[in-house]
Structure 1
């Protein structure tokens, strides 16, 4: 109501009361049966047969499900749901171990096939640490094979074991993958239990950052004196050259800049120097809220080389220490401190990463900042002089195209590791680049037969000659034989079995038993079996394809409950003929014993179901097999609905069945006549092709006299019921009086008139074709007191011309009277 306040013109929009009722879809099919893979007891929507292959894989050898769905789409279907049944099936499982402790490592992640069945035994996984921070994150590649060919690949990069990260591996992979779920192994505790995995520091080490270039004095002395005064002199020499600052972040905080040259000056003892650096870092971190803290040490003296700076988180969740170069006067590059400079940065929980599927170089325990794993012997890789390395007696060339580590370019080659630093050498002067060259060379050598993953993983970069400011061309890894530093692992982990040192508790997937009546019926409470369709908004056709391991008696016990379910969902059940309907000579036993028909429909809601006979022949990948016709008929109904309307019987010369090569028996006219009167729809071979030649429900026996004799009438009524049910919900809680009744008559009448104009009803005028009543005669005062409004809708359906009778009469001649 417009509130008028001043003289003038007011405009008010008045609702018209028109609420358009849209006819629902009439040909959404639902299929239940066994498949080779895919989710169990879950309705999966498919819009093509290619969707079926992606979701459910190759056809199950004993089930007709896949080929029934294929025939549905081939005959005109466009939309269906498939529910996979696999009672008692189990998924393929394997548990992945970490690198530490030294093998077998700790069980960290359980990989479980996304759905039960033997298909999971074909799933493989590859793990690598080839990430921007190889000490923190990892990549996972999941591969599924069928028939020796890769059919699906998924790649997940930058995963972590940090439970607060958005790329926490168990959560991220489980939510993103269609092949596997990842769970924490039992020994890891719960990622949701505040008392176990997340908050128990004992489950991991405190995050730390360690330099990779040792401090020594004098800078030109290869012996590398490591007393406090020597370290003091080494750092002061860097300060004198203007290298004083670095940026640091602790536990994910903002970065702050630390200047090591400010007062107080460095003392001359190892402990004093560490305390001095620690105080300067913590002073800057104190400006943050909350304020993290760190502890600093100069590590263990490495004879002949020096000491390494180690910065470890000291409070909070102790998750990480990250160092980057300062905008000015940077010292991080000279010390190789921070991952971008080639240093080691191990966040908390990184020791729980699964071991890489490769042969990798491991030196020391990554959970201990000072243990970077030096051995007595030294392997030297000289970028200027080395031509090859020898592994297990096999020579791997390092001085030829693609794998050449020799170079003389650059003035500080050991930390030129970022793209663009050295275009002359193809960015191959940096630490990780050299290691990648070595790894690629090993992987490319066919005689070795394994992968090498050596870049960025616990490799100590130690100078054996030259000055700190002009790092030499020698990389020492700590052992005399290169293969002694390699720990062999498999190329791929396999679901369902243990392979190598880094998997355990592998259990293969099992296919489950044969579908039982209980498996088809399922549980409404658990939404299994046919009740897996409960969450689906609308289904119109139900098909249960045959299964060679399911007996006729089991199927006969299934039809009744399924037909009741269809009645409740306003859907229509399409039934395949039982094997007993055809005798051993390939002739229709059902013609001789029509009691078989009564046995089939004894427990069924007869007006919501129809049976089609005989079985169809089709080409199954080069073999001629037979299949029940229900899937093809569902597609035919969809095609007929789209071209003519649901009120047109899906039968006649236009009702050709596609994607088949014949029928398993050809019925005669007289056999067809017997079966048609009993409500059996026959598929006939006619001169124009193989067609459906029947349109009766199982209530269409001539002896029954049912008003729901024909499929088209029943399905038209179901469509009207569902459309009106959905299209009149707006009336709930509206005032129950004549304005509401008039609106209901208007909207329902408009919907029925649109069907009449499309030719859905008998009659030459709307009054002959349908009526809509909603007034005081349909809704009494008592109904209104109870909150009830009654709408009565009647229609005159079109019945199919099942028998065309042509009368011919001879004219006796012209007789004048």
Structure 2
């Protein structure tokens, strides 16, 4: 209760009336099955269309080797055709399904494809170059030493050396080098040509593996290369004084020793240090500053300086030094981007040098060794990090690519390479090995080329077992197989398409009976006759599952051939479609089956006489009717209890129970008195009234459709003393018109007398 301790106006919010109950979704399905690829660990993944399923879990599975196929397909008790799972998923979406949680099933012996990197320095060619060219554009210049360095060019297809030359000049920003010897052969990016400096080492630095087990990982390639994640300006030394910007006051001939510039503020030798550098055109020159005279100042260049002719008006600006004396420190703009242990590349225009950051104090950065030469404020310090690229080529030819820039090779930062791939990549994982170094000259590279192709992945279908489908309960997020569907509360319909193993289907039924918020669709063995399917049905007695017969016939897009598929995937889609269009109270029957062959879309012809035997035993028939197409012609559960023989009745109560459960959580720990009971009664009554108005409950009035009791008649003093609130609810469901009977008799014509 609020406290009123001082005079004033108090504004309070109070609850008015019962809280509404929102109906839960009944059209969300969950399935466990074998896929080409996709996440094997963790919770089931949501897919909302078949394209999303293909992107996450791959396309259609090929039929396994004859020995494996026959071992499963010819086992009437513990077998299945699990390789048809993707076709069942397609059937789900073809028939109106919108949300499906998929749990991948894989053999415990399955292994992911993997590969190990050594180290060296490689840079891919970024642009084609013709024979005779001297300019080459590369992916990066990280780790290069600069002018005079020898490089080798390799062909990307056969790894043969096609050219060797020295670096005459470079542009680190544009990743461009000028060669001292013209190319003797053309260079092509599409071929994967690359530059290599020095030899490669087989010392192991990184191990990459596919994100999930299976042979699919053999189509995954990985590349890691250094990158400049930031280009930070060198700040001038405080002793350098002020900046001046002027322009040529007269033309200057080529190689002239002096130039005249306009006198401006700051251009006074008395205010300048002994050593002054100026940027004239594209060149940087050490100059001696003369005394101003007649509004002009003479700048003298060092003897023998070569330069092009300059025109009057050309901008001349002072370039201040960043380091005026030898030492390991340098002032850097944006130094906050750096961190201890960061690797940087210094560039003075002719030499590229690698240093490691040891300390940072404001903009003053201390390195592990002296800063080489003289750096100027026009120079840049580049932060060296890593970029990982991964690509996967689907059997259909589609390519999935990933790119992760700005990664650290070592350390515990969130941007660490291993951590980033573990949290974000859908293709690969990485493990750091002993020889991993942050030295760009020893960057992780494969034995040949610049891309590492993963290898030795194994699906191990030969060791796949029923236990893999049943799964293990390792706790939330660590469950496998059918058990993993427990992690998703939204699942209302579940199936293991194509698997008729008694152990697996019994586990699925038990899963539904324990959670009491979902319904299972079971598949019989393919090719069973009427007696066979009746025998298959005999072991089951549950109100939480339904069985459909026979199998369906559809076109396999992967092979272009017709194939028989289990009905559970298509039926789950029909459940979802009927729920959305009509409601969970409508029996999922007398609905057209989509996504199958237009003619002979059902594997076996079921007649009325056949169904006379199947229907009383709870086996729902899939039938063809001329002029009406292929339809679901049954709506029964596998229960021997006549109260629960209809699927829609069972699923309606699942819907009511789950909705009331989730919508009344606020009641827990409230004072258990008459006021609370009245709120609970009204809350449930309002919800059931809405359900009744939707046509889900029988009766012409709410009183005929349901009752809600929550008062002294439903609870004793012992219940109250033990914290129990008991609400008794009675509901009259609408049963389907399974047998429509029209009784017709002859009527004798009676004479009407006037």
Partner of 1:156: 404
Distance 1:3 1:106, change over 3 A: closer
Aligned mate of 2:449, from 490, 514, 518: 490
CA drift of 1:150 comes to: 4.3
Q: State yes or no: 1:657 paired with 2:594.
A: yes
Distance 1:46 1:174, change over 3 A: same
Aligned mate of 2:395, from 135, 147, 153: 147
Aligned mate of 2:415, from 164, 167, 170: 167
User: What is the TM-score with the length of structure 2 in the denominator?
Assistant: 0.62
Aligned mate of 1:774, from 702, 706, 710: 710
For residues 602-621 of structure 1, the aligned pairs below 5 Å read 602=539, 604=540, 606-621=542-557
Partner of 2:322: none
CA drift of 1:15 comes to: 1.6
1:784-812, CA deviations, whole angstroms, 9 ceiling, x for partnerless residues? 11111111111101100001111112211
Do the aligned partners of 2:216 and 2:457 also contact (CA within 8 Å) in 1? no
Partner of 2:471: 522
- How many aligned positions are there? 496
CA drift of 1:8 comes to: 9.8
CA drift of 1:520 comes to: 1.6
Cα distance in 2 for residues equivalent to 1:34 and 1:9: 66
Partner of 2:111: 90
Partner of 1:282: none
Partner of 2:259: none
Partner of 2:141: none
Cα distance in 1 for residues equivalent to 2:405 and 2:416: 11
1:121-145, CA deviations, whole angstroms, 9 ceiling, x for partnerless residues? 1101233345466763343221111
Q: State yes or no: 1:70 paired with 2:9.
A: no
CA drift of 1:770 comes to: 0.4
CA drift of 1:349 comes to: 4.8
Partner of 2:26: 26
Do the aligned partners of 1:114 and 1:181 also contact (CA within 8 Å) in 2? yes
1:235-267, CA deviations, whole angstroms, 9 ceiling, x for partnerless residues? xxxxxxxxxxxxxxxxxxxxxxxxxxxxxxxxx
Partner of 2:279: none
Do the aligned partners of 2:224 and 2:386 also contact (CA within 8 Å) in 1? yes
Do the aligned partners of 1:162 and 1:350 also contact (CA within 8 Å) in 2? no
1:569-606, CA deviations, whole angstroms, 9 ceiling, x for partnerless residues? 22111011223623xxxxx3447xx34421xxx2x451
CA drift of 1:706 comes to: 1.8
For residues 36-115 of structure 1, the aligned pairs below 5 Å read 36-42=36-42, 43-62=44-63, 63-87=83-107, 88-99=109-120, 102-115=199-212
Cα distance in 2 for residues equivalent to 1:613 and 1:48: 26
Do the aligned partners of 2:526 and 2:550 also contact (CA within 8 Å) in 1? no
Do the aligned partners of 1:771 and 1:794 also contact (CA within 8 Å) in 2? yes
Cα distance in 1 for residues equivalent to 2:8 and 2:405: 68
Q: State yes or no: 1:680 paired with 2:619.
A: yes
CA drift of 1:167 comes to: 3.4
Do the aligned partners of 1:567 and 1:605 also contact (CA within 8 Å) in 2? no
Partner of 1:574: 521
CA drift of 1:737 comes to: 1.3
For residues 740-759 of structure 1, the aligned pairs below 5 Å read 740-759=676-695
CA drift of 1:685 comes to: 0.5
Partner of 2:237: none
Partner of 2:193: none
Q: Secondary structure at the match of 2:643?
A: coil
CA drift of 1:610 comes to: 0.4
CA drift of 1:630 comes to: 0.7
CA drift of 1:723 comes to: 0.7
Do the aligned partners of 1:110 and 1:185 also contact (CA within 8 Å) in 2? yes
The unaligned stretches of length 5 or more in structure 2 are: 64-82, 122-197, 230-343, 346-353, 355-383
Q: Secondary structure at the match of 2:209?
A: strand
Cα distance in 2 for residues equivalent to 1:52 and 1:164: 34
Partner of 2:484: 532
Q: Secondary structure at the match of 1:86?
A: coil
Cα distance in 2 for residues equivalent to 1:159 and 1:8: 58
Partner of 1:541: 493
For residues 104-253 of structure 1, the aligned pairs below 5 Å read 104-129=201-226, 131=228, 136-147=384-395, 149-163=397-411, 166-186=414-434
Cα distance in 1 for residues equivalent to 2:213 and 2:641: 48
Q: Secondary structure at the match of 1:110?
A: strand
Root mean square deviation of aligned Cα: 2.5
Cα distance in 1 for residues equivalent to 2:550 and 2:630: 12
Distance 1:527 1:144, change over 3 A: same
Cα distance in 2 for residues equivalent to 1:5 and 1:148: 75
Cα distance in 1 for residues equivalent to 2:706 and 2:442: 72
Q: State yes or no: 1:697 paired with 2:643.
A: no
CA drift of 1:512 comes to: 4.3
The unaligned stretches of length 5 or more in structure 1 are: 189-203, 205-347, 358-487, 497-506, 583-587
The more displaced of 791-800 and 530-539 is: 530-539
CA drift of 1:3 comes to: 6.2
CA drift of 1:166 comes to: 4.9
1:752-792, CA deviations, whole angstroms, 9 ceiling, x for partnerless residues? 11100111111000010001111111111101111111111
Do the aligned partners of 2:526 and 2:566 also contact (CA within 8 Å) in 1? no
Do the aligned partners of 2:509 and 2:544 also contact (CA within 8 Å) in 1? yes
Partner of 1:372: none
Do the aligned partners of 2:554 and 2:595 also contact (CA within 8 Å) in 1? no
Aligned mate of 1:727, from 663, 666, 669: 663
Cα distance in 2 for residues equivalent to 1:7 and 1:527: 59
Do the aligned partners of 2:578 and 2:586 also contact (CA within 8 Å) in 1? yes
Cα distance in 2 for residues equivalent to 1:711 and 1:771: 23
Distance 1:778 1:349, change over 3 A: farther
Do the aligned partners of 1:161 and 1:352 also contact (CA within 8 Å) in 2? no
The more displaced of 513-522 and 173-182 is: 513-522
Q: Secondary structure at the match of 2:543?
A: helix
Cα distance in 1 for residues equivalent to 2:512 and 2:678: 33
Cα distance in 2 for residues equivalent to 1:558 and 1:7: 70
Do the aligned partners of 1:137 and 1:160 also contact (CA within 8 Å) in 2? yes
Do the aligned partners of 1:89 and 1:513 also contact (CA within 8 Å) in 2? no
Partner of 2:504: 558
Q: Secondary structure at the match of 2:491?
A: coil
For residues 490-509 of structure 1, the aligned pairs below 5 Å read 490-496=449-455, 507-509=456-458
